[in-house]
Structure 1
Amino acid sequence: MTMAKVSDVDAASVASTAVPDARTNVVQLVSADISTIAGVSLYGSRAEITRIAKIDLEAGQNRITITGLPSAMLEETLRVEGKGSATIHDVTVARTPATPQPHPQKSATSPHLQSLYKERKAVGSELYRVSKHLEALERFASTLNAKDNSIDQVVEVMARYEPEAAVLHERTYDLEQRLLELDDSILEEQSRLRSEADAATAPTVSSELGKQLTVAIFARGKGPVELVLVYAVSSASWRATYETRVVTANSTKDGGAPVDLTYKAAINQSTGEDWADVPIVLETASPTFGLSIPQLVPHTLSVHRPRSRSPDRYEHSRRRRAHYSRSRSISPHRYPHVVTVRAGRSMESHRSHSPPAPQMVAQEAVVTSMGNVTASFSIPGRSNIPSDGEDHQVTIAKLKLEARLQWVAVPSMSLQTHLKGYIENTSEYTFLPGKTSVYLDGSFISKSPVPPVSPRESFECSLGVDPSIRITFHPRTKKAAKSGLYTKTQTHSYSQRITVFNTRTQPVENVAVLAQVPVSQDAAITVKVSSPALPPAADQNQGGSASGSGAPSAVRVSGAVSAAWEDSREGRFKWTAKLAPQEKLMLELEWEVSAPAATVINGL
């Protein structure tokens, strides 16, 4: 049977004021003893816990208090449901009060401490007797004199005195050392007893499990019921991590390569409850609480009208200036601080004529929605995530994807060749933002960011540097010439050669070499690229062709090499080539800069 409910509890707002009478069955239980976690739905910054508790009720009114619930519980999310022949009347959630403990005794003791005190007293008494004995011996030795005793008697007395005094001195030293040892032992035992007393009087409520739930239930008959507690907790999160493995030797003829991508989750929780042997569902949605709809405010326009200066204010200011002018002309040496006064008054006068400062305007917040497709990932089997605040890795899926490889070099900046992969998400999983560990041909290369990717979307992944594609950037050559009969023109010609060498035993299908030529910012200066034979920059749209098709128009340089503008307004273009195994490719860049002969050109 399903347990009837008076209300589906908003536990933060419901508080029970009823006082249980003598017929109410009052029971206090510990959550870990009578309930288990049946499931965890983990979001980016919180988790939803489902607990099932089995409780024995008496017929009639019952008041059940369950302690040991996490302090990180968000009280407004608590729901209490159940199964059984009973009705839920009231639910209250609060902090668990500390259990009052008896005050510790003023002087804690133990049998061992008592024996130490007894031994110390005995050693102290013996030390007193020995000191008195030694004192008497010393007093007797001081009474000897030659008048009353012969030399033989004195010698005999001193012969007996010396060994006896030595024994007493040694015994005194041993007893004093024993007293020091006993004092240390007494202090150690007293410290141990104080620690035990402090532990006994310490609060029994854990700071991490400091909340309790009180449920008022009316049962139609005696017997067990099942309560289901659903609540959200903070201090729990998960983030996506990835592992990407690419083997370039398995690349296809069209430049593609298989990719093994392992989709993982790093789970972290410090809620105070250990998630032991529980099913976990990872949610990509981000729950929000109390988010209100933004309200539009009026956006008004008006004509700016400068404020006119008041004639009265102008006349008042003029009179003040005349007054200070007369003061200066009377006696300039009577007022040694006249410069400071004038400066202050001048600023005040200036402020009186300046228009008022505009009012500060608060920066308006911009609310955006990412709009990503949400998904739920059920972790296979059951997981064990202790409440230790450490990352625990679980695998979501192992995927076989396809990547289109591209080798990219920028020789004017670096002689290294970078490898990129354009990976298509052909799976049914949504990729969350995270980091991926990249392994190229079995070796760890680097960590690369992964953006949010929905199914059927592609993303770019950096695969590190490929040393098998070698770049040589040859020295640049420059020539200058003048031409023209009446109007002289100066021309600067430049030539740059770049060598690309594929040392691999496999062909590479998509090698991009980026270069740049100067861009004229003045109509008197003309820049012309002669090799490769790209269309004039003025005919190109930024990032596209003159026809507006969106793709840059490419020109054929040779059988396997083409060139196209990337951004003609900034002078960037690239060669795209296919290289056979052990092939060397020579790329040539030639351009010239023309301007009137008297023109001084900056940037050459």
Structure 2
Amino acid sequence: MTKVSDVDTASVASTAVPDARTNVVQLVSADISTIAGVSLYGSRAEITRIAKIDLEAGQNRITITGLPSAMLEETLRVEGKGSATIHDVTASRTPAPQTQNQTQTHKSPTSAQLQSLRKERKGTESELYRVSKHLEALERFASTLNAKDNSIDQVSEVMARYEIEAAALHERTYYLEQRLLELDDSVHEEKTRLRAEVVTDTVSSELEKQVTVAIFAPGKGPVELVLVYAVSHASWRATYETRVVTANATRDGGTPVDLTYKALINQSTGEDWTDVPIVLETASPTFGLSIPQLVPHTLSVHRPRSRSRESGRYDYPHRRYARSRSRSRSPRRHHYAVDEERFYDDPPAPQMVAREAVVTSAGNVTASFSIPGRSNVPSDGEDHQVTIAKLKLEARLQWVAVPSMSLQTHLKAYIENTSEYTFLPGKTSVYLDRSFISKSPVPPVSPRESFECSLGVDPSIRITYHPRTKKAAKSGLYTKTQTHSYSQRITVFNTRTQPVENVAVLAQVPVSQDAAITVKVSNPALPPPAPDQNQGGASGSVPGAVRVSGAVSAAWEDSKEGRFKWIAKLAPQEKLMLELEWEVSALATTIIDGL
């Protein structure tokens, strides 16, 4: 079969009016087409739908209804195979059908059930009227009885029958009145249901778009049309599952990590994706972006404001004129003008960019993830989970403690993405030694990049923060200098049966904000760090570190804020004593805030 000439935009207006020789056909999308594939982005989806249609020789005007209302019409593309030529393509909203209730608006909605209820209610009202008349007649008859014309036995017999008849009539009256109330409720419910049906008929559905294709066929026969269009209300986001077993640490300090890469797919387009191949895209579509423009950066001489003696107010005689003349070239105002111009001149951004940040990966790296097999994702607005890949990665564990703030030891992993997959931002469920710990955020990660993952608190590394000791002394013959000496001890205890390779204990010393105050750290003897020194790391080899003991080193983490850390390796059941000593010196007459 030869390829049908295609039209890749729906913006072409169809002006041709079909004549008597044009074959006009209206078809429902679900009846003549199937979804062949879905490319899912972070805030939209691209649908490929294949329709098989029989054409007549000559002009054919095919209208396919039942397409999703979430279709972005400007993205529509139509092509196909067969001996035919596509003249134009239009996408529009399907006209709402005229129902009997809509064409005859003067008539109230009705049904057989409503008519039956009304008939029964009318009969009940008639019976209640007759019963009331019967009861009135009985009352009048009872009032005419007198002792002159009737004996006591006759009166007693008549009154006994009166009691029976009156009781029966009163009971019947009560039943009919209750029945009328029930019928009124039933009539109200049926009217409410009928009004709801009328509203449902008039409310736009989720499948109210249609595509009209004008095709010329040299002869009668079948063709295959391919409709490609984007829809909003469809998205996917990344989620992860990270499993770490600390007992599996290797000799070089690495730890294997099992990471399951998953996707949560959500769509409410009106179309069920049944048995379709799905491709997850990490590309970030952008629309309406313009290149930023530089604005003039002007300088002027500062003129202090003068105060008027008469009014008591400040006047700006020169600056008022300068401000009015340069208002259009003010950088801030000009920046806003650029934004407004771009906002009103460019076409409005489609809905697909509403969640653009979700699919942006670090380094502008994009990838496509093809979900194995075929998937079923109904249009229910719920999250449906699929697995992208199960990966085995390498990580380096680090135990971090800040004893001055908390005695808990936190465990984190530096995981390297050694796979070919791009990780999108999301959350991971962390399982440490087969136990669920917490949820940790995952940043955008490209292949060969590393990221940090929190593994919660490890109670097996115990910290003891001993009381701080303080001494004060004065020195100098003529000029007295006062020195405050501090000492702090920290005990780290590894209760594990395995060694711990990388334990970081963070501490802090005061920082002087005045040249008259001197702070000196004597233990550990930290050298002044270089300005470009690389601070910290996961491997334990810190540039500029000083050796404290055989398996302990220390290094500045941020010398400007007085933060440093010890990096230690602990054997099983080993206790480590860390000592911190520093001095604060100033003239004896100096009052130091913060001690």
Listed one character per residue, the Cα deviations across residues 139-179 of structure 1 (whole Å, up to 9, x for unaligned) are 222xx15xx45xxx442233113212211221222221332
Aligned residue number for residue 288 of structure 1: 286
Following the alignment from structure 1 to structure 2, what is the Cα–Cα distance between the partners of residues 44 and 118?
Answer: 61
- Structure 2 residue matching 1:162: 3-state secondary structure: helix
Which residue identity is paired with 2:216?
A: F
1:554 shift after superposition: 1.4
8 Å contact kept, 1:54–1:225: yes
Following the alignment from structure 2 to structure 1, what is the Cα–Cα distance between the partners of residues 67 and 109?
Answer: 37
Following the alignment from structure 1 to structure 2, what is the Cα–Cα distance between the partners of residues 528 and 200?
Answer: 84
Q: What are the residue-to-residue correspondences of 1:81-92 with 2, within 5 Å?
A: 81-92=79-90
Following the alignment from structure 1 to structure 2, what is the Cα–Cα distance between the partners of residues 108 and 138?
Answer: 47
The 3 A distance-change label for structure 1 pair 540 and 218 is closer
Select 1:245's aligned residue among 243, 246, 263.
243
**1:346 aligned to 2:312?**
yes
Select 2:401's aligned residue among 385, 409, 417.
409
- Structure 1 residue matching 2:549: 3-state secondary structure: coil
Q: What are the residue-to-residue correspondences of 1:32-431 with 2, within 5 Å?
A: 32-103=30-101, 105-106=107-108, 108=110, 110=112, 112-113=116-117, 116-117=120-121, 119-120=123-124, 123-124=127-128, 126-141=130-145, 144-145=146-147, 148=148, 153-191=150-188, 193-194=190-191, 195-196=193-194, 199=197, 202-203=200-201, 206-294=204-292, 296-304=293-301, 306=303, 321=310, 345-347=311-313, 350-351=314-315, 355-356=319-320, 358=323, 359=327, 361-362=332-333, 364=335, 371-431=363-423
Higher mean alpha-carbon deviation, 524-533 vs 428-437, is at 524-533
- Structure 2 residue matching 1:527: 3-state secondary structure: strand
Which residue identity is paired with 2:383?
A: D
Which residue identity is paired with 1:346?
A: G
Aligned residue number for residue 16 of structure 2: 18
Aligned residue number for residue 460 of structure 1: 452
1:302 shift after superposition: 4.8
The 3 A distance-change label for structure 1 pair 304 and 524 is closer
The 3 A distance-change label for structure 1 pair 10 and 196 is same
Calculate the aligned-residue CA RMSD, in Å.
2.8
Select 1:504's aligned residue among 477, 484, 496.
496
1:542 shift after superposition: 6.5
Aligned residue number for residue 8 of structure 2: 9
Following the alignment from structure 1 to structure 2, what is the Cα–Cα distance between the partners of residues 215 and 355?
Answer: 65
**1:586 aligned to 2:577?**
yes
Aligned residues, how many? 555
**1:485 aligned to 2:482?**
no
Following the alignment from structure 2 to structure 1, what is the Cα–Cα distance between the partners of residues 473 and 135?
Answer: 118
Following the alignment from structure 1 to structure 2, what is the Cα–Cα distance between the partners of residues 122 and 602?
Answer: 99
- Structure 1 residue matching 2:333: 3-state secondary structure: coil
- Structure 2 residue matching 1:29: 3-state secondary structure: strand
Following the alignment from structure 1 to structure 2, what is the Cα–Cα distance between the partners of residues 543 and 221?
Answer: 78
Following the alignment from structure 1 to structure 2, what is the Cα–Cα distance between the partners of residues 540 and 197?
Answer: 79
Listed one character per residue, the Cα deviations across residues 551-591 of structure 1 (whole Å, up to 9, x for unaligned) are 64111111111111112222111111111111111111111
Which residue identity is paired with 1:490?
A: Q
The 3 A distance-change label for structure 1 pair 202 and 600 is closer
1:260 shift after superposition: 0.3
1:2 shift after superposition: 2.9
Following the alignment from structure 1 to structure 2, what is the Cα–Cα distance between the partners of residues 423 and 107?
Answer: 67
Which residue identity is paired with 1:556?
A: R
The percentage of aligned residue pairs carrying the same residue is 69
8 Å contact kept, 1:543–1:565: no
8 Å contact kept, 1:91–1:214: yes
The 3 A distance-change label for structure 1 pair 35 and 584 is same
Aligned residue number for residue 334 of structure 1: none
The 3 A distance-change label for structure 1 pair 140 and 468 is same
Following the alignment from structure 2 to structure 1, what is the Cα–Cα distance between the partners of residues 118 and 261?
Answer: 66
Which residue identity is paired with 1:602?
A: D
Which residue identity is paired with 2:245?
A: V
- Structure 2 residue matching 1:71: 3-state secondary structure: coil
1:203 shift after superposition: 2.5
When normalised by structure 2's length, the TM-score is 0.87
The 3 A distance-change label for structure 1 pair 580 and 298 is closer
- Structure 1 residue matching 2:279: 3-state secondary structure: strand
Aligned residue number for residue 541 of structure 1: 531
1:65 shift after superposition: 0.9
The 3 A distance-change label for structure 1 pair 63 and 109 is closer
Following the alignment from structure 2 to structure 1, what is the Cα–Cα distance between the partners of residues 417 and 280?
Answer: 19
8 Å contact kept, 1:130–1:168: no
Listed one character per residue, the Cα deviations across residues 297-317 of structure 1 (whole Å, up to 9, x for unaligned) are 4525455375999xxxx9xx8
8 Å contact kept, 2:305–2:316: no
Aligned residue number for residue 439 of structure 2: 447
Following the alignment from structure 1 to structure 2, what is the Cα–Cα distance between the partners of residues 160 and 102?
Answer: 63
- Structure 1 residue matching 2:128: 3-state secondary structure: helix
Following the alignment from structure 2 to structure 1, what is the Cα–Cα distance between the partners of residues 579 and 511?
Answer: 19
Gaps of 5+ in 1: 322-344
- Which has the greater radius of gyration? 1
Following the alignment from structure 1 to structure 2, what is the Cα–Cα distance between the partners of residues 585 and 364?
Answer: 59
Following the alignment from structure 1 to structure 2, what is the Cα–Cα distance between the partners of residues 22 and 466?
Answer: 82
Aligned residue number for residue 346 of structure 2: none
Following the alignment from structure 2 to structure 1, what is the Cα–Cα distance between the partners of residues 187 and 133?
Answer: 29
Listed one character per residue, the Cα deviations across residues 391-432 of structure 1 (whole Å, up to 9, x for unaligned) are 111100000001100101010011000111010111010111
8 Å contact kept, 2:80–2:225: yes
8 Å contact kept, 1:417–1:470: yes
Following the alignment from structure 2 to structure 1, what is the Cα–Cα distance between the partners of residues 319 and 64?
Answer: 68
Following the alignment from structure 2 to structure 1, what is the Cα–Cα distance between the partners of residues 581 and 305?
Answer: 64
1:196 shift after superposition: 4.4
